[in-house]
Chains A and B, each alone.
Chain A
Amino acid sequence: MRKRLTVLLAIAAIVTSACTSSSATGTPGATTKPSVAPSPTAVAIDISTTNYKPEAVTKTGGKLVMAEWQEPVTVWWNEYDNSATDVEAFGFSLWSLWSATADYKYYPQLATTVPTVLNGGVVLKGDGMDETITMRPGAMWSDGQPITCDDLAYQVTWQMDAGQVGNIQGHLGWEDITSVDGGSGTTCVVHFAKQYEGYLGLWSPLLPKHYLQTVSVADAGTKLYAANNLKAGVYSGPYMPTSWAAGAEIDYVPNPQFWSTIKKSTAGFDSVVFKYYDSSATEMAGFKNAETDVAMNYNQNDLAAMTTTGINQASIDSIDGTTYEQHSWNYASLKTKFGDAGAKALMTALHYAYDKGAINQRIVGGIAVTTCNFNSPLVWYYKELTCPTTDVAKANQILDAAGFTTGADGVRVAPNGKAVELLGCTSKSRTYRVNTLTLLASQLQQIGVKLDVKPVPTVPDLFGGWTEQGADVPCNTTHGNFDVAEFAWVAGLDPLGIYLLYYSTYDPSQGDHSGVNYIRVNNPALDQLLDQLKRTVDLNKVRTIMFQIQDIYVNPDNAFPEIPLYYWKTVVLKNTAMHNVVNNATSATNSWNIEDWFKA
C-alpha cells in the first residue's frame, strides 16, 4: 500500500539511461570535496577507476534469499517501466555495458572498458563524436548465442522504431547515432552526429538481437520476457529468473553461460530468491527471524524501527544517498495568483522562511543531512554552497517591501488583492510527508502564508498524465493544480538528469504534456547552460557549467521554485555471514554486484 514514488524511479531511469561520466574523487564517507574555485583547474576527472575490490570467494553454494516490500513490474527494466524495484530484481539478469559503483564510478559489465575522452574511448569529431566499445570476446547469451556488436547496432534501430508501444526510453540520445561499426565482432565503434553528454546511459540494458527479432516491435513488451514464461527469455547476467509467483517471490538459477564465458568461475549460489513482503515492517520482522539474507528498500525513516526491533547493528548498512527530499513549488500557479512580481517576492521569502533543521529534527529524528543543493556531496561536480539561513524577519521584510499586507486573520494579502492561501500536496501513502507539510504549514504561518495540506493517491492523482483524468483533479502535478508538492528526486550521477527537470520547454502544461518540469521554472540563463551541458563531453567543461547552475539554484534572489530539504539515506540489512554486499546509493541499486556475493 505504500508505494515508492514512481517519480523517484522515473528519474532513476532517466538518470540511468542518460547516464554518463561522473565520479567522485573519493569514496562515500571520505569527505574530500572538490575545490570551491569558480573555474576548476583541469584535474583529470577519471570515472573508470573504482575503489571497489571484492573479497575473494571462499565458499559457493546454498540459497540466497533477498527481500523487498515492493514488487517489480516487469523484467524489462528501464525499457517498459522505470521502477527501481525492476532494476533491483532484474538488473543482474539483463546486464548493461557498464554499471555505476557504490563510489560513484563506473565499472565494466558486458564491455571491458568504460570509454571516456580521458582514456581515448571517446574521440571528438567536429560536432559529433566516435565512441569505441570493446565487448568481451567469447561472451554468450544464456541460450548460447554470442554477444556482439550486432546486438548494439540492432538495438539502436529497435529503440528508434516507430512501432514502439510504451517504451520509456524515447529517442533521447539514440537519435544522435548515425551508425555502429563492428558487425559480429566485439570491437564496436559508435558514430554520433552530435556530441551527447549522456552517452554512457545508452544500452542500459543491452538486448539480444536474435530474441528481439522473434516478435514485432509492438509486441515486444508483452510477449518477450513475459512474467509467466520467464524460462524462455534470453539473459546475460549472473542469475536468470525461472518463475515469478505473483505477490510472493521470484526464483532464479545461475546462468551457466555467464559463469563460464564472462565471469569464468563458479556461481556464488545454487539458487536465488527474491521474496516479497507486504510492507517494510513485515520485511524487517522477516529479516529479524532469519528468513532472509539481504533486505532492501529502506531509508532514514526505518532506522529507528530497526534498532527497536532488535536487529543486530552489524547487519544495518546505512549510507548517504543521492536521493533528496524536496518541495516543488509551482511557479506558474504563483504567478497566476499573485502576478509576476508578487510571485518572485513570495518565492524569495519562502527560501528564508523554511526551518529545515526543525523538519529534520521532528520528522527524521535529526539523522538526515539538510541541504540547499540538489546534488549529493559525493558527485564530482558538487559545489559547496552557502545556504540561506532561516530568517523569518527577513522573509516578512521581503513580503512587506513587495506590497503584501496582512489581513485581520493574520493571512497575507498580495498587492493584487488575493489572499495568500496555498495548496500543498503529497502522496497519502507516505505519512511522514504529510507530517512534513503540516509542519511547514505551521512555519509558514509566521510569515502569514496559509498552507492547506491535501494528501492524495500517487497515481493517478499526484502524477497522473494529462489525459488520464479531468483537468481539475486537485494536486495533479501534470496539470499544475498545486502550489507545493513534496516528493523525492534522484539527482544522480549524470548531470544531464536535470535537463528534463529544469528546461523551460518541458513544462507539462505545454507541448505534448509529457515533460516533468513540474516546478515550471523558466530561467533563460539556466536554459542556455543546459543546452551547453547536453553537448559537452569534456568533463572539466561539464563541471564548470554545473557550478554555474548550482549558483543559480541556491540564490534566493533567483526565486528558484524548488527547495531541497535533506538527503535520504540508503539502508540495507544484510546477514553478517554475507560477503561483498556493498550498499550502492545510485540507481544501480543494491543488487549491482551480486555476481561477487557469497555466504560463508
Chain B
Amino acid sequence: MTRYIVRRLVGAIPTLFIISILIYGFVLLAPGGPTAAFAMNAKMTAESRALIVHRWGLDQPIPVQYCRWLGVCNPDGQGLGILVSNSGVPYFLPAAVGGGNNGVLHLDLGISSSKNGVPVTEVIGEHFPRTLMLAGVALVVWLTLALLLGVISAVKRYTKIDGAITVFNYVAYSFPTFWLGLLLIIIFSSALGWLPAGGMWDVKLDPAPGFYFGSSEYWSFFSQHPLAVLADLASHLILPVATLVAVSVAGDSRFVRASMIDALRQDFVRTAGAKGVTERRVIFKHALRNALLPVVTNIGLELPFLFTGAIATETVFSWPGMGKLFIDSVGKFDYPVVMGISVITALLVVGGNLLADIVYAIVDPRISYG
C-alpha cells in the first residue's frame, strides 16, 4: 500500500513539471504585460519604461525567465551562476539549507502587476478563505442533498417521486451556472428584495472600521454578536450556494441512485432481509455504506471543480474569491496572479486525483496494488 502511494506521488512530479511549463507557455502567448498599464501615459519617457521592463526581468531570454519563475535560477546570478544561490548551494534547494528564496519551488509566486507590489501569495491568501467558505458550504449541502435525493429515488424507483426527481435533475443539470445565478438575482434580489444582490458581508453590520471577512475586527465582532454575523453570512450565502448546488447535485444524485439500486440488488441485502432486520435498517446500514463508496472517492475528483465551478458563481454574485480574482486578473493581464492561481489549482487537482485513488485503494479490498 505504502509503495503504491509513494509511486503515485513520485509519478505526479513529472506531471506537475509539465503543468508548470504549460502554464508558463500559455502566458507567453499573451500580449501586454506589466508595462501595459502605462500605455497611455504621455509623459513617461522611454527610459522609464525600459527600467520597468528590466525590473520585471522581461528582457531576459524566455527559458531564463521560466527558470527564475520556477525557482531553479537565481535572479542575481550571471551566466551559469544563475543555477547557484548566493550561498553557493544549488538554487532549487530550500532556503533553510542555503538555497534560494524566489520562485514557485520556494513558495514565492511573484508580485502582482495590478496590485502595485503585493506578493501574489498574499493576494491569493486573502481570496482563498472566501472561496473555501463558499465551496465548503456548497460541498456539504450538495453531498447531503445528493445522498438524500439519490436514496429516495432509489428506494422509490420507478414511482412518480423518482420521476419527479429525475426530471428535476435533468433540468437543473442543463442550466448554465451563471444564468441560474442571474435568474436568482432577478427574482430574489431585484424583484422581491429578500436577499442581497451580491458580496459576502454587509459592511454596515459593524460600526467599527476594518470589518471584512477574515479580518481581526470581523472575528472580534463575531465573538460579541455571533448570531448577527452568522445571519449576515447566511443571507449572502444562500443564492450562490443554491446556484452551485443545483447544477452539481443533479449529476451526483443520479450516481447515488444507480449505486444504491445496484447495492439493493445484492445478495447480502436479501440475506439481511431474511434475518428479520427491518427494511429500513437494511437500507440505511448496509446498502448505503456500499453506495457511499463511489461517492466518497468522487469527492477527491470533484473538489477542485468546486473551486473552478465557482468562477461563474463568484462573478455573478460579486463573491470576492479565487474565481473572481482569476477573471479580474485575466482581464487586467496580471500574469503573475493568473499563473499563481493556475499553479495552485493544478496542485489541487493533482492532489485530489491522488486522494481519490488512495481512498479507493484503501476502501476497495478487491483492488491490489503492488
Contacts and interface: CB of A to CB of B under 8 A. Distances in A.
A286 B38 CA distance: 32
Nearest to A309: B190
Centre residue among B51, B209, B332 by max chain A CB count within 10 A: B209
Contact of B46 (A222, A273, A459, A514): A514
Nearest to A13: B41
B251 interface: no
Contact of A249 (B48, B203, B325): B203
A197 interface: no
A438 interface: no
B61 interface: no
A171 B214 CA distance: 43
B51 A468 contact: no
Contacts of B203: 63, 65, 249, 273, 275, 291-292
A74 B209 contact: no
A278 interface: yes
Nearest to A75: B116
A226 B39 CA distance: 22
Nearest to B33: A468
B210 A465 contact: no
The secondary structure that dominates the A interface is: loop
Q: Give the interface residue-count category, chain A.
A: 35 or more
B31 A473 contact: yes
- Secondary structure type dominating chain B contacts: loop
A146 interface: no
A286 B197 contact: yes
B117 A459 contact: no
B327 interface: yes
B360 to A, nearest CB: 37
Interface string A192-234: 0000000000000000000000000010011100111000000
A468 B41 contact: no
Contact of B320 (A247, A286, A290, A512): A247
Interface in A1-38: 1, 3, 6-7, 10, 14, 17
A290 B129 CA distance: 27
Given A172-B43, A506-B42, A165 B202 contact: no
B324 A247 contact: yes
A303 interface: no
Interface string A477-513: 0100000000000000000000010000010000011
A289 B193 contact: yes
A272 B210 CA distance: 9
Contact of B318 (A271, A278, A478, A515): A278
A286 B48 contact: no
B331 interface: yes
Contacts of A249: 203, 212
Output the residue of A80, A290, A460, A470 with the most chain B CB within 10 A.
Answer: A460
A510 to B, nearest CB: 12
Contact of A512 (B46, B52, B197, B199): B46
Among A76, A226, A309, chain B packs the most CB atoms within 10 A around the CB of A226
B42 A514 contact: yes
Interface string B325-368: 10110011100000000000000000000000000000000000
Contacts of B52: 165-166
Contacts, number: 209
A165 B50 CA distance: 9
Contacts of B213: 245, 248
Given A168-B44, A169-B43, A252-B209, A285 B115 contact: no
Interface stretch (B118-126, B143-151, B162-170, B172-180): B118-126
A573 B123 CA distance: 31
A425 to B, nearest CB: 15
User: B39, B114, B193: which has the most chain A beta carbons within 10 Å?
Assistant: B39
B204 A63 contact: yes
Nearest to B124: A246
Contacts of A468: 31-33, 35-36, 39
Given A165-B51, A309-B190, A464-B36, A282 B324 contact: no
Interface of B: 31-33, 35-46, 48-49, 51-52, 55, 111, 114-119, 122-123, 126-127, 189-190, 193, 196-200, 202-204, 207-215, 315, 317-318, 320, 324-325, 327-328, 331-333
The 7 closest A-B pairs by CB, nearest first: A170-B43, A271-B209, A278-B318, A222-B117, A460-B32, A285-B197, A469-B31
21 contacts: A10-B41, A63-B203, A76-B116, A166-B38, A166-B52, A168-B43, A222-B117, A247-B325, A249-B203, A252-B209, A271-B207, A271-B208, A275-B199, A278-B315, A282-B318, A290-B204, A309-B190, A463-B39, A464-B39, A514-B45, A514-B49
Given A251-B211, A285-B198, 12 more contacts: A81-B116, A170-B43, A222-B116, A226-B118, A227-B117, A227-B118, A242-B209, A243-B210, A247-B325, A273-B209, A282-B318, A461-B31
